[in-house]
Every structure is written in C-alpha cells, then in structure tokens.
C-alpha cells in the first residue's frame, strides 16, 4: 500500500516556475494499482485457499456422517429383524400357551358334561328299558 508521502509526491509540480503551462502528473497507473492491490489480492488468495480447505473438509465430514448414518440404519434394521423373530416366537408361545389352557379347560368341561350325561343315562335307562319292554309286549300278539 502506498504511503502518504508517495501519494503526495504524485501531485508535485514538474517544471520550473514561469509562464503558465499545462500541468501534468506523470504516473504509471497500472504499476501503482498492482503495487497497491498486491497485498489485498495476496490476502484474498489466502482467504480463498482457506475457504476451499473448509469446503473440502466439510464435504469429507458430510460424506463420513452420511456413511455413519447409513451404517447405523443398517444396524437398526438388522436388530429390528432379529428382534422381530424373537418377538414372533414369544407371541406364538404366548398364544399357544393360552390355547393350551383353553383346551385343557374345554376338555375338563367336556369330561364333566360326559359324566353328567352318563349319570343321567344310568339313571334313566332302567325306567326306559321297562317302558320299552312293556310297549314291545303290548305289540306282541297272542302266541301260538
């Protein structure tokens, strides 16, 4: 960057005092701009490299995190599938146990009902047999 003295020297009159003449400031504008802007562009280049490095690091981090998330998702699905098999087994076991209890209860009720029917049949059979024998005897005609 140009110092104050360098800037003021640009406006110094060139020529000897005397008759009025066109005043001019001979300068090399391109050279001055290059000198003045070189530190700015150097700082910008450093900042651009730093920004490029940050973007590349962020892209690598995003790729790593995405891969980690995919792997975690695969693990969760695998765990869920493994757990689903055991959950189905547990559920089936519970249903079968309940069904077995109902079967035992129904068999017990059926045995009680069979005993009741057997008791009723045993109680009624002699009376019914007598009734049938009398009826058959009435149907029978005279014996020859």
51-84 pLDDT, tens per residue? 999 999 999 999 999 999 999 999 999 988 888 8
pLDDT > 70 in the chain, percent: 80
76-131 pLDDT, tens per residue? 999 888 888 888 888 889 999 999 999 999 999 999 999 999 999 999 888 888 88
**In 12-109, at which residue ranges do the beta strands (DSSP E only) sit?**
none
DSSP string for residues in 65-81? HHHHHHHHHHHHHHHHH
Q: Identify the CA nearest to 27 among candidates 41, 48, 11.
A: 11
48 sits in which H/E element: helix 29-139
pLDDT value for 13: 61
10-26 pLDDT, tens per residue? 666 655 555 655 655 55
- What's the rounded Cα separation, in Å, for the pair 138 and 144? 16
Q: Identify the CA nearest to 27 among candidates 45, 40, 44, 14.
A: 14
């Amino acid at each position: 960057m140009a110092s104050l003295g360098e800037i003021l020297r640009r406006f110094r009159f060139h020529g000897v005092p005397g008759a009025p003449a066109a005043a001019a400031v001979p300068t090399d504008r391109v050279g001055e701009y290059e000198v003045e802007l070189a530190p700015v562009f150097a700082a910008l280049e450093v900042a651009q490299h730093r920004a490029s490095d940050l973007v590349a690091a962020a892209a690598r981090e995003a790729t790593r995190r995405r891969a980690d998330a995919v792997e975690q998702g695969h693990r969760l699905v695998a765990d869920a599938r493994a757990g689903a098999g055991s959950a189905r087994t547990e559920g089936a076991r519970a249903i079968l146990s309940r069904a077995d209890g109902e079967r035992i209860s129904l068999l017990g009720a059926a045995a009680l009902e069979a005993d009741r029917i057997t008791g009723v049949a045993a109680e009624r059979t002699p009376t019914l047999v007598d009734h049938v024998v009398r009826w058959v005897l009435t149907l029978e005609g005279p014996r020859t």
